[in-house]
């Protein structure tokens, strides 16, 4: 797919592209094909994965065919574009996967409500599945007859530790999305009231305009 770069921050290494399909895609430094980052307004070609752009390549030097014909792709384009699919709006599970992989510790960006709730929904589902799997394993091993369900507790503890950082990161990105500093996450340490305030922030719609953390994310 092709599009135009709307924004790219060299310091934070994140940017946004307005695709020819009318959707907005985000990308990071590792998604660039070349070392040089495209500037605002640059025409680019890229692959899509939900609302993420991958293999972003500037088209400034692309050779053009005569008017009335299609632009001839570069020598590497067929291999990159083969199997390319435009998924449009990312699924909730897709947001969860993004949060636990490429955005595992990404703080300097924005996250819409869909991304925030997608992460916590599937994080809860994974946690419940792990507890049941651990209890079954403990039952087979005979742990439930003699002692605590050590396998279930151990697996749950590992998952809690593994999901702690991405949960903090996506909450901070959600706060950025409504124009607030990530430091507001510290309200979560205030019993009851603080968590209710964070919940209200999580339900607040995205700012429709660009703020210091970038343009409003698609989806």
CATH number where 18 lies: 2.40.50.140
**Pair (76, 147) in one structural domain:** no
Q: Which of 151-154's residues contact partners 24+ apart within 8 Å by CB, and which partners?
A: none
**What is the reported pLDDT for 62?**
39
6 and 80 co-located in one domain = yes
pLDDT computed for residue 89 by the predictor: 61
Higher pLDDT, 183 or 85: 183
Whether 98 is in a domain gets the answer no
Residue 180 falls inside a structural domain: yes
Same domain, 119 and 60: no
What's the pLDDT score for residue 90? 73
Same domain membership, residue 118 and residue 189: yes
- Whether 103 maps to a domain, the answer reads no
Q: Considering the domain boundaries, does residue 154 fall inside one?
A: yes
Whether 107 maps to a domain, the answer reads: no
pLDDT of residue 86: 37
Same domain, 134 and 180: yes
**Domain match, 31 and 73 both:** yes
- Is 218 domain-assigned? no
Residues 6+ positions from 41 with CB-CB distance below 8 Å: 4, 5
- Report how far residue 20's alpha carbon sits from residue 32's, in angstroms, rounded to the nearest whole number: 18
Is the same domain home to 149 and 182?
A: yes
120 and 197 co-located in one domain: yes
Instruction: Quote the percentage of the chain above a pLDDT of 90.
Output: 31
- Residue at 101 is within a domain: no
Residue 121 is assigned to a structural domain of this protein: yes
pLDDT, residue 35, reads 64
pLDDT at site 28:
82
Residue 65: pLDDT over 50: no
Q: What average pLDDT does this structure show over 193-216?
A: 89
Q: Which residue has the higher pLDDT, 71 or 174?
A: 174
Question: Domain boundary at 43, 73, 88, which?
Answer: 88
Domain that holds residue 174: 113-203
Residue 142 Rama label (left phi>0; alpha psi -120 to 50; beta) = left
The number of distinct structural domains making up the chain is: 2
Residue % of the chain over a pLDDT of 70: 84
pLDDT tens for each residue of 132-154:
998 888 888 777 776 778 888 88
Distances (CA, A) of 189 to 42, 60, 193, 201: 44, 50, 9, 15
| pLDDT(124) > 90 | yes
pLDDT of residue 79: 37
Confidence band for 106, pLDDT divided at 50, 70 and 90: confident
- Answer yes or no: do 76 and 150 share one domain: no
What's residue 60's pLDDT?
64
Task: Say what the pLDDT of residue 129 is.
Answer: 93
Same structural domain, 14 and 75: yes
**Residue 135: phi, psi to the nearest 5?**
-65, -40
Examine the domain organization and report whether 76 and 121 are in the same domain. no
Q: Average per-residue pLDDT in the chain?
A: 80
Mean pLDDT computed over 41-68: 70
């Amino acid at each position: 797919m092709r599009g135009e770069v709307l924004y790219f921050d060299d310091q934070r290494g994140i940017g946004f592209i307005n695709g020819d399909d009318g959707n907005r895609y985000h990308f990071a430094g590792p998604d660039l094909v070349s070392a040089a980052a495209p500037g605002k307004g640059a025409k680019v070609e890229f692959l899509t994965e939900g609302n993420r752009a991958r293999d972003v390549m500037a088209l400034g030097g692309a050779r053009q065919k005569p008017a009335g014909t299609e632009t001839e792709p570069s020598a590497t384009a067929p291999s990159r574009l083969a199997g390319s699919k435009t998924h449009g709006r990312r699924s909730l599970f897709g947001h969860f996967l993004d949060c636990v992989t490429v955005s595992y510790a990404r703080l300097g960006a924005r996250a819409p409500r869909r991304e925030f709730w997608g992460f916590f929904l599937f994080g809860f589902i994974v946690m419940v599945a792990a507890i049941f799997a651990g209890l079954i394993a403990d039952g087979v091993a005979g742990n439930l007859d003699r002692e605590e369900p050590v396998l279930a507790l151990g697996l749950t503890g590992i998952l809690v530790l593994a999901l702690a950082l991405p949960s903090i990161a996506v909450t901070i990105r959600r706060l950025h999305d409504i124009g607030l500093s990530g430091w507001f996450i510290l309200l979560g340490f205030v019993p009851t009231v603080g968590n209710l305030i964070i919940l209200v922030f999580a339900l607040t719609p995205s700012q429709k305009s660009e703020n210091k953390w970038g343009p409003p994310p698609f989806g």
